[in-house]
Amino acid sequence: MQNCLLTGFQTPPRGRPRKIQPSWVRGKADNYRDILDLVWNKVSPRLLQAQKREDVIASFEGANIGGYALDLVVRADLILAVLKDADFSKRKREAQINFLADSIGALGLLTPRSSRDICERERARIKSIHQIIRYEYWIECSCKYKGRSLNHACPKCEAQILLPSTLPITASLMDQYLSEDT
């Protein structure tokens, strides 16, 4: 039953996808970079040896990242293909994480290669305009997680950060600042 469900999600939609915005792909890839960085030490020994989809799924079993594991496990076939890519680094941790994250950023709607190209172009574009496009907090959660937040929530139990009530003021000041700048 579980496998049927996974197979269903892994079938890519027919035909060419509608236009996918580069920022979506880059954002998703960043998200995967964070998740993979959190679990890489635990997951990579099994993941890097994976020969089939079931091996990829099994490698995430002890990852302890709540729902984020499902997000990766439904893309087991895609992940497997990326791991077998000749350009996938054999040794370097960061290179492995970034390559995998950027390859699956388009969620299989584009080829891993196109997904990586989009990420690279988007990062270059962002770098050239110098704006903070994302921020996270360092958190201590009651679930015992300590470290960087993910999408302003605990990556382990997904408890949301309660943002301070002053934030709308800060945000409007930021808008003002940005509009003066342009």
- What is the closest distance, in whole angstroms, from the C-beta atom of residue 70 to Zn ion in the complex? 17
Q: Which of 160, 124, 125, 126 minimizes the C-alpha distance to 142?
A: 160
- What is the closest distance, in whole angstroms, from the C-beta atom of residue 143 to Zn ion in the complex? 3
- What is the closest distance, in whole angstroms, from the C-beta atom of residue 62 to Zn ion in the complex? 17
- C-alpha gyration radius of the chain: 18
Whether 106 contacts 115, CB under 8 Å:
yes
Nearer to Zn ion, 143 or 171 (CB): 143
How many helices (H) and strands (E) would you count in the chain?
Answer: 8, 2
Nearer to Zn ion, 20 or 141 (CB): 141
| Contact map string, positions 135 to 164, toward Zn ion, x by CB under 5 A | ------x-x-x--------x-xx-x-----
Footprint (CB under 5 A) of Zn ion, residues 39-68: none
Per CB under 5 A, 75 contacts Zn ion? no
For residue 100, how many other CB atoms are within 10 A of its CB?
27
Where are the strands (E) in the chain, listed by range? 138-140, 146-148
Nearer to Zn ion, 58 or 157 (CB): 157
Given the structure tokens 């995430």, which residue do they identify? 60
- What is the closest distance, in whole angstroms, from the C-beta atom of residue 73 to Zn ion in the complex? 20
Binding-site size for Zn ion (CB under 5 A) equals: 7
- What is the closest distance, in whole angstroms, from the C-beta atom of residue 42 to Zn ion in the complex? 17
Whether 60 contacts 74, CB under 8 Å:
no
- Type of residue at 155: P
Nearer to Zn ion, 7 or 160 (CB): 160
Q: Which of 69, 51, 48 minimizes the C-alpha distance to 60?
A: 69
Nearer to Zn ion, 2 or 142 (CB): 142
Instruction: Please name every residue paired with 150 in a beta bridge, in sequence order, or none if there are none.
Output: 153
Nearer to Zn ion, 26 or 156 (CB): 156
Site residues for Zn ion per CB under 5 A: 141, 143, 145, 154, 156-157, 159
